[in-house]
Structure 1
Amino acid sequence: MQKTFYQKELLIKATQQRKGLNNNKKDIEKIQSWLNLFATQNPNAGTATGIDGDFGPATEKAVLNFQKFNGLSQTGTVDQKVFDVLAAPLKKAFEDPIPGNNLRDLIVNTAKSHLKNHPFELVINNQSNSGPWVRSYMDNHEGTDWFWCMGFVQAIIDQAASVQGKNFKTLMPLTYSCDTVGVTGIQKKLLTRFQTARTNPALIKPADVFLIQKTTNDWFHTGIVTAVHGDLIETIEGNTNSDGSHNGNAVMNRIRNYKQSKIDFFSIESLVV
């Protein structure tokens, strides 16, 4: 794999605890982030707390609640073993075996694996587009200006391609920009424009990358096509929400009508062959 920053998100340097001599602000922020991410899926667990890098009484109580909820010893401290449980969704998304007989299947199934582990951004230091999932997709970049939909797409393609020993950068450059991938598609003749896609849906295939146009050579959102149904495409996309925003907060499975939107399609076929 080319995008491996996620591995650093799975580790803390030392046991973290209230008034601990080895406390580390970044590690405590990681712990607080995962406590909050756990709360989004388990709102009754009592693990939502501030993300400030300070292991105070509120963080200690949130840790105790997390340990109780998961049947762990209630110590109020977080060593690597406890952190492994906290960060398990990220490890599963990036490292669980992915089934698939070909690259297209692998890409779709990788996207589904991430989806079921609930990638979600956080607001840290008043900055949206933050947290361990965003940093993993964006190679340690985070913050309000770092839209992460393309980072998600490339992480999925990279992970799937690596199963077959392929480098996704032979298909497109490492980038966080929809425009860069769109222009690459034009240059390599891999981009099907929306006008053509509307008249010839057979050109759209699962695992291709959709790019929503703002203007002819300006795209503002992307994701993975997982299925085509008549006038509709089914997608898995990051940095979105229930309204289909290009700056939402989650990875979601969405339905889009490609015949009513200016959606271009970047073919991954050259990586498949």
Structure 2
Amino acid sequence: MQKTFYQKELVIKAPQERKGANNNKKDIEKIQSWLNLFAVQNPNSGTATDIDGDFGPATEKAVLNFQKSNGLPQNGIVNQTVFDVLVSPLKKAFESPISGNNLRELILNTAKNHLKNNPFELVINSQSNTGPWVRSYMDGHEGTEWFWCMGFVQAIIDQAAAVQGKSFKTLMPLTYSCDTVGTTGIQKKILTRYQTARTNPALIKPGDIFLLQKTPNDWIHTGIVTAVHADTIETIEGNTNAGGSHNGNAVMNKIRNYKQSKLDFFSIESLV
């Protein structure tokens, strides 16, 4: 795999605890981030707390509640064993074995595996597009300006291609820009424009990448096509929400009407 930054998100340097001698702000922020991500999926857990790098009484209580929810010894200390449980969704998303008879199936199954582990962004220091999931998809980058939909797409294709010993960078450059991928598609003649896709949907295949067009050479959102129907496509896409925003906060399974939207399609066939 080319995109391996997620591995840094799976470890802390030392056990962290209230008034701990080895406490450090970055590790505490990681812990607080995962406590909040756990709370998103388990709203009654009592693990939501400020993400400020300070292991105070509120963070200690959140840790105790997390430990109780997961059947762990309740001591308020986060060592690597406890942290492993906190970060297990990320580890499962990036390291669970993926099966598939071909690259397209591998891409779909990889995307579905990430989806079921609930990737979600956080707001830290008043900055959206932050947190461990965003950093993992964006190779360490985060913050309001770091839209992460293409980072998600490339992470999925990278992970799937690596199963077959292939590099996704033979298909497209490592980038976070929809424009770069769209331009690459034009240059390689593997980008189907929305006008053509509407009249010939057979050109769209599961595992391909959709690019939402703003103007003919400006694209603002992307995702993985998982199924094609008469008027709609099903997708798995990052940095979106229920309304299909290009700057949402989660990975979601979406239905999009490609007959009414300006969706261009980047083919992965040359990598297959």
Same fold (TM over 0.5): yes
Letter of the 1:137 partner, please give it. Y
Q: CA deviation at 1:164?
A: 0.2
Find the aligned partners of 1:72 and 1:216 in 2 and give their Cα distance. 54
**In the alignment, what sits opposite 1:158?**
158
Secondary structure of the residue aligned to 1:270 is coil
Q: CA deviation at 1:99?
A: 1.3
RMSD (Å) for aligned C-alpha atoms: 0.3
Q: CA deviation at 1:49?
A: 0.2
Structure 1: runs of 5+ lacking an equivalent: none
Runs of 4+ in structure 1 over 4 Å off: none
Using the size of structure 2 for normalisation, the TM-score is 1.00
Find the aligned partners of 1:168 and 1:52 in 2 and give their Cα distance. 37
2:52 matched to 1:52?
yes
Q: How does 1:16-165 map to 2 (within 5 A)?
A: 16-165=16-165
**In the alignment, what sits opposite 1:201?**
201
Q: CA deviation at 1:264?
A: 0.1
Q: CA deviation at 1:130?
A: 0.1
**In the alignment, what sits opposite 2:190?**
190
Q: How does 1:166-177 map to 2 (within 5 A)?
A: 166-177=166-177
**In the alignment, what sits opposite 2:254?**
254
Q: Deviations over 1:220-244 (max 9, x none)?
A: 0000000001111000000000000
Secondary structure of the residue aligned to 2:40 is helix
Q: Percent identity?
A: 85
2:235 matched to 1:224?
no
**In the alignment, what sits opposite 1:13?**
13
Find the aligned partners of 1:267 and 1:235 in 2 and give their Cα distance. 15
Secondary structure of the residue aligned to 1:85 is helix
Using the size of structure 1 for normalisation, the TM-score is 0.99
2:265 matched to 1:265?
yes
Find the aligned partners of 1:127 and 1:58 in 2 and give their Cα distance. 22
Letter of the 1:17 partner, please give it. E
Find the aligned partners of 1:230 and 1:113 in 2 and give their Cα distance. 26
Find the aligned partners of 2:112 and 2:75 in 1 and give their Cα distance. 35
Q: CA deviation at 1:85?
A: 0.0
Structure 2: runs of 5+ lacking an equivalent: none
